[in-house]
Structures are given as C-alpha cells and as structure tokens.
Structure 1
C-alpha cells in the first residue's frame, strides 16, 4: 500500500469516526423517541403567520424551498440550454401489441456526449394522450420487464460492488408492473439512475455534476447538489422530453420512487411543479420520515453511510436534528396543493414507518389552506387499509422494504382520482 493511499485511508477513518461520535445508539423502540417540536410550516422565519394559500405560494413556500435547497439537498442548476432529445427506437407492437415502446436519448449538452436514456411505454388502446408514471430504476432499463428489445443499460456501480456483466433482463420486473399500468390506461417512463449520477461516493466526478462546475471547481459547494438532487434534476429533464411527446399528457405526469429514489421523487415534486402527482414508497430518512424522531436511520447515520446523497451543509445536523430549520413534513407541504401518496411497509423499521405517516399528518394544515383534505390521526392505520380520502394518501403494507404489486395498485387507485 502506498504512503499516499495510507494517508487517504487514515483521513477517511478519522472523518468517519467524527460522524460516528455524533450518532446516538440505534433506536427501534417507539417509547424511546425523544420529545421534539416540529417547525410550523405556516409560520414564516420572521414569526408572521401564513393565513391563506396566496401567502403560502408567494412567501412561505419559496422560503422553505430555499432552506431545503441550502441545508438538505443542495441547489441544482436549471434546465441547460443544450438539452435536446433523440428518439433512438420505436416499436408500436410492444408487449404483445399492448403498448408502444420508445427509447429516447435526453442529451444534457450540445455535444451529445452526456445523456440519459428514457424508456417509455404508452398503451395502444387510447383515444388521446395518456397520463404517465415516471420514475428512476436501480438496475437498468432492461431489468424492468421481459422485453427483449430494450437496450441494456450500462451498469455504473461502485467498483467491485456490482455484477461485472450487469443485471439480467427482467431481474427487477416484480417492482415494475408495466402490463398492469398499460391495462389501466397509464404509460410508464423510466431512467436508470446511473445515467444521471452513480450511487457511490466518487467525489462527484462521474455524473452530471462536472458539467456545471465553474472554472477551478472540482466538487459541489457546501450548499450545492448531492446525488439525490441530481437524480431529481434528471427527473425534470425527463419531464422536459415528456412535454414534447404527443402520446403523453404533460399535465398528468406522476413522479414515483422507491427507497432512496423515493427521496429523489419527493424532492423533484417539491422543486418542479410540472409533476401533477408525487408518490413516495419507503423513502425514510431524508424522504418522508421526520428527522426529529431520531428513529432507526438518523441524519448522522445516513450522512456517514451515504456521504454523497445530500449537500455538505446537511452534515452539520448530525446528532443535532433539532437545529434543522426544516423537517420532512414541510417537504410534503411544498407539494401542496398537488396530491401526494406516502407508502410504508410494516416490517421496514429502518425507514421509520410512523415518522413517514406523521409527516403527512403534519403537512395537512397547508393542504387545508387550499380547501383540500389531507391526512389525519396520531396512530398508524391498520396494515393494508389505505387512506385515500384526501390529497395526501397513505398506506402501510404488510411485509418489508420493497415496492410490490399491492403498492402499485393503490397508487393507481389514488391516481385515478386526479389523473383520469
């Protein structure tokens, strides 16, 4: 081992031990959740109360959005001038003639060197443009269903931590019920997350970040975007294309994500108001779960395990969640008055099931400003009994950390209320 590598490893260990020192013991006991006070989404930083929807939209919402940008996810660039699209393939007889499949290159720059590939299915049985679910996938576009003509995505995982040959075709099909969505009149659009930014700490050198570095810059500033915000940015670039596709109704696009990609979907929905409906599945800490509960995964632990996900400023709150100027109920509130669905799994304690539910409950006063119902109660509803009476939907599913056909069926039922 070289002296330089030994020194680097020593610095890494010292940094990790500093974060570990701030971590409380892992808590899976509801009785040990500390007393906490959530920031009021309807109180401005100067103490003024928000009394109506107009004040929320013109004053409080921009204020909260700026706090999440600078302290949690990081500021991302807008749409680059060079964004453009190319349809790489189209098949009007996909999935046994049920759907039309397109593969689209979304180029981030004029030089066409940097791009992501959007996979889009739309039902052939339609009379007009259709609503679409848009989400990122973990393993590659070719893994979401058994369609032999989908181009395999190039795997971009941490060296030594993924199969060298990539993941098999249809290996993630249980998470993407494409034919069910098509049968219910919905399209599906997806992008491999690695096309936007690889999910490991590479110093922000191998994703979209370097495309926007200023002269002399080598990594994002402390208040600039991490990987979660980069994925959300990529979802917006996918939306840029969907606005141009005559088969898609751009006013009826739902953004969806599971686990860490659920965090990205929530942030995309908060930042980009073109998304008509937002779905978070098992998104946990930094997603739908309240940080101040300090249940299971905490701010300290998530920043140690995944130091690239959030902006560097978020690391300040490791072990100091009460100092955060925001909490995740306010992320849900930023979506108002658009509908949002939060899904949990009963055995997924790491994601803090109750914290996800309570985030929806505490976002409800903002939805009420718009004359809409939200989510109510202090105790979790029974497993497998969805709550869909308001614009904040919720269910806790039996089982563990996953996105299943049951989950998707609830998302479709909820979407039918708003996108059909």
Structure 2
C-alpha cells in the first residue's frame, strides 16, 4: 500500500495591505508553498519491514531496496526519510492548514491559524538590524541560540519565537497544550519538537505572503540552543523554505545519532530524553531500549537539510550533550551533501574552549557570519568547515557499511561556497587538487581544506588511473614536525605523526577505472607546511 503525504493545496488569492512598517496578510483557504516539502507527492510505502541494524542506515537505499543514483531521485528518497522520521521519531507534521492570516511589522509578527474547524493564534517579536530593509531573518527559539549580536551585525533581523506558546513543556503526553494542540488535540502523538517546527512554518507562511516590505521572503534561518537546538534542527529538516539551520548544543533528540547515544558513556540516555519532556513523538518510546530497530537515524535528518545551509555547533565539555555522537551524525549527513555536490554548505564546530552550556563562543562568530552572508544575504562564501574536538571525535568508518554515490543531474540551484567538508567520493569537476603523488596504479593528491590557529583540515583524493578496477589502496605521507592527526575519516591509519600510512576502509577499497575516493583528517600543528612524500599504491 502506498499513499501521498502532505499534498499542497492550491494557492488562493491573498490580499496585502502595506502601510509604513506594517504588513497585513490574509490567506483563506491557506496552503504552504510547495517548497515546504518538495517531495509531498512522492509515493511512500504505508508499511515497511522491521529493522535491526546496529550501524547507521544507508541514506541512499530506497525502501524498495534500490539505491539512489541521481539528484532527481534523491527528492523522493528524502520524502521516504521524512515519512519514516515522522512515524518513528517526531510524530506527524500535519498537512498545510486551511487558513493562515497574520501581520508583519518592524516589531512583531502575528499568526492566526484555522484548520479542521479549529482556530488558534500566537505571535513573535522582531528586532531589525541597522540599515534599510527588507531584511532576511533568523528565527531564534526561546531566546537561546546562535549569537544574536553577530546575526544582526551580519545584516539579518532576529525573530524571537517562544515555542512554548505552540507546544508547552511540563505537560503529560496525553494532555499536551499550546497552539498546535489547540487544533490537533491534546492527545496528539506529535511531540513538542515537531509542534514547534509547525509553528516556525506558520511564521514563514506569514512572512512569505507579506510582500517583503519589512522582512525578505527569500532568506530565513532558524537557530536554538539545548532543547531549542533540538527544535531548530527539526524545523530546518521539515521545512525546505528554511535557508540556514543552526542548532547549538542540541543533545539527545537533536543532532547526535540515536545509535551512538546508546553507546556513548555520560550522554543523556534515550529513555531520559523521551521522558524528560514530550519532545519526541509518542511512537519513539518503542525504540528507547533498542535504537537498532529505528528505520532512520539523525544523520539522515541532517541529509534532509541538504543542500541548504547547515551550521552545527556542539559543546564537547558537557558529557550529557553527546558531542561524539553529534560528530558521527554530522559526518554521516555530510555524505549526503557530498553526493549532491554541495559539500561546502555544511559546517560543524565542536573544537571550542569555553564549556559553559549555551555560551556565546568566539570560535563560532566567524563561520556564523559567513553562513548568514552566504545563505541569507547571497554574498560571500559558505564556511564549509569541520572543526571536531579531538576529545569528542566520532569515527564514521565504524558506523557504516555503505558507500556514498556520486549522484548525477543538476539537482537545482546550489548556494555559494567552495570548501569541502569530509566525504567519501569526489563528485566530478573541472578542477584537480594539487599534488604529485604516484605509486602503483593510483595517484594521491592532497589539499588543505581549512586552517585555524593551531590546526588544519586536510583531504586526500585517491584516483584510479588504470584501465581496471582498483582493489584496495594505501597512501603514504609524511607530516611536518609538530603536526599530528587528531581525527580521520574514510580511511584507516597507522600512526598519527611523522610517516603515516592511510589505507582503505572495507567499503571504499574498490575504485572503478578513472574514479576517485577521498579521505579526510583534522590535525594539530602549523598548516603552512603541507604533508610531503605523498604516494599511493595498490596490491
């Protein structure tokens, strides 16, 4: 049995009244832009076989067992992940409401929703940056998220959204309260995180139809820290109109992989996060003791955001937050970005000094501003950097047995940026990275992806130059004095300093003729001297 989810209704006529700083929007009947969920018309199986998988599920294998091979196919694969995540993790995000009305001014946004014969309303405040608008905007959950001073300095407005008005904490699962539950019932199986995402989408509805007099209709971000970081992450995944998603220290129920959390000592257990508040959907209770039965994991939720902007900020100093599992999920999700040719659009940072929960951190200001400029203003380049704390570095190679495909097709417009986060295979392109390593039937080329005070991120591309398939490979290189590898992905190394050999993992040793794979690493030390003596060999 197949069914279609969230089919958008046709737009009705909308009346706009624009006067000074106030825009009044009326929509009736109301439907979300198709961009809210581009795969709404994809057929998804009504039921799937039980799962028992200790590793991260393959984001590129469809429910019918075939693998995604093109960017066009990814849209419906994303719709499958969307549906499975609703069923097992978050609860349903309802189809677009019958009516949404509201106002946008320089100081606030009002939202009125009617659906299924019931009505509700809520509001959010607006804080504009200096200069003349209209401005892009970042929706900040609960007053805690990415640094609002930096957001405004970059040229974006701040929308302060109290998610508790839409889904209140401190309630039982059978008596949920707030604007969402006013319409869909206090016993709804949808958890608070998805109800908050629904509220975010309704704010965007009003902005989108306001005519752009105060806030731009084509540049919206979302951020939050801790529980609000969980909420921002879910909002970005379930509304494709959000151009930039910035979860901060989201912990269990946010970015960190559920399967990883179950094995990460000191992190908040799954049953604790499920029981602390009704953040997750009611159905998730069946998986708290056995996450291997989950049909999805959070690396795939990261992948749902691709190719849009994503900047994940994590705190490695608080064990409860599960930063190691967060890095695993981010690395796994980055493979979706890489497959779509949008590697530069995901950034991750957990290598920070200050351990205070939800503190403003100097290490995040630069990439935060770059992200806003690239994804909300359309200027500059995305930061495209992974800075993983050495003490909380997950190893993706131990969490997967699948390879990352190079998806064909144009896949639509991609935001700017030119730096690659870690990945598995190198999509075709016109530029070759620098290097002159040779050996056997393969070559190895190195490039520095990013650098910072006291460290850098490197990437090595292994190319098969022979007429037949490569069956295994090994790269030798020599790190300069003072350099030491702190984290490595998509390869297995002997040694971390001096002379180092990196060989293939079990899944990326076979390389077709004239094809490539990559491995990446972060290292401490001076980045001005590149690793030397790079050679590649194959058995």
**TM-score, length-scaled by structure 1:** 0.69
Give matches, 1:245-256, under 5 Å: 245-256=212-223
Partner of 2:110: 105
Matched, 1:119 2:84: no
1:219 maps to 2:160:
no
Deviation at 1:230, TM superposition (A): 0.5
Q: RMSD in angstroms over aligned alpha carbons?
A: 2.4
Q: Structure 1: how far apart are the matches of 2:302 and 2:150?
A: 28
Contact 2:119–2:182 (8 Å) recurs in 1: no
**Are the aligned partners of 2:168 and 2:178 in contact in 1 as well (CA < 8 Å)?**
yes
1:280–1:341 contact (8 Å) kept in structure 2 = yes
In structure 2, do the counterparts of structure 1 residues 218 and 238 end up closer, same or farther at CA, with 3 Å as the change threshold? closer
- Alignment of 1:208 onto 2:179: yes
Question: How far apart in 2 are the matches of 1:231 and 1:65?
Answer: 16
Question: Aligned to 1:292, which of 256, 259, 266?
Answer: 259
Output the TM-score relative to the length of structure 2.
Answer: 0.55
Alignment of 1:381-392 (within 5 A): 390-392=344-346
SS in 2 for 1:419: helix
Which is greater in Rg?
2
2:108 & 2:233 partners in 1: Cα distance? 25
1:154 paired residue number: none
Aligned counterpart for 2:89 among listed residues 51, 67, 72:
72
Question: Matched residues in 2 for 1:205 and 1:318: separation?
Answer: 21
Question: Which position in structure 2 is the counterpart of 1:342?
Answer: 312
User: In structure 2, the residue corresponding to 1:116 is in which secondary structure?
Assistant: strand
Q: CA deviation at 1:330?
A: 0.4
1:236 aligns with 2:201: yes
- Structure 2 matches for 1:285-364, cutoff 5 A? 285-293=252-260, 294=262, 295=264, 296-306=267-277, 308-364=278-334
1:65-107 Cα deviation digits (max 9, x unpaired):
00001110000223322321145xx6xxxxxxxxxx4122212
**Separation of aligned partners in 1, 2:333 and 2:119:** 42
8 Å CA contact 1:130–1:248 kept in 2: the answer is yes
**1:29 aligns to what?**
none
Where is the strand percentage greater, Structure 1 or Structure 2? 2
In the alignment, the residues of structure 1 paired with residue 361 and residue 63 of structure 2 have an alpha-carbon distance, to the nearest angstrom, of 42
- Contact conserved, 2:146 with 2:248, CA < 8 A, in 1? no
Tell me the alpha carbon deviations over residues 175-202 of structure 1, each in whole angstroms, 9 at most, x when there is no partner. Answer: 6754443332111112112211211224
What residue is the counterpart of 2:60 in the other structure? 42
CA contact (8 A) 1:291 1:298 kept: no
Counterpart Cα distance in 2 of 1:253 and 1:322: 35
Relative distance call for 1:190 and 1:79 in structure 2 (3 A) is farther
The counterpart of 2:371, out of the listed 414, 417, 420, is 414
The equivalent residue for 1:400 is 356
Q: Which residue does 2:232 correspond to in 1?
A: 265
Give the whole-Å Cα distance in 2 for the aligned partners of 1:321 and 1:133: 33
**Residue 218 of structure 1, CA deviation:** 5.3
Query: For the structure 1 residues 119 and 418, does the alpha-carbon distance in structure 2 shift closer, same or farther, using more than 3 Å as the test?
Result: same
Gaps of at least 5 residues in structure 1 are 1-34, 91-100, 138-143, 145-171, 374-389
Question: What aligned pairs does 1:184-195 form with structure 2 within 5 A after superposition?
Answer: 184-195=154-165
The secondary structure found in structure 2 opposite 1:67 is: helix
Q: Deviations over 1:237-280 (max 9, x none)?
A: 11112211422222211111211111111111111100011111
Residue pair 1:255, 1:269 contacting (<8 A) in 2 also: yes
Residues 52 and 369, structure 1, Cα contact 8 Å, conserved in 2: no
Deviation at 1:323, TM superposition (A): 0.8
Contact 1:263–1:287 (CA under 8 A) maintained in structure 2: yes
Classify 1:177/1:324 alpha carbon distance in 2 versus 1 (closer, same or farther; 3 Å).
closer
Contact 2:150-2:368 at 8 Å conserved across structures: no
CA distance in 2, matches of 1:176, 1:338: 18
Corresponding residue of 1:93? none
Aligned counterparts of 2:63 and 2:323: Cα–Cα separation in 1 = 29
Secondary structure of the residue that 1:362 maps to in structure 2?
A: helix
Aligned residue pairs: how many?
A: 314
Relative distance call for 1:36 and 1:206 in structure 2 (3 A) is closer
User: Which structure is richer in relative contact order (CA contacts within 8 A, separation 6 or more)?
Assistant: 1
Secondary structure in structure 1 of the residue aligned to 2:111: strand
**Residue 52 (structure 1) aligned to one of 70, 77, 83:** 70
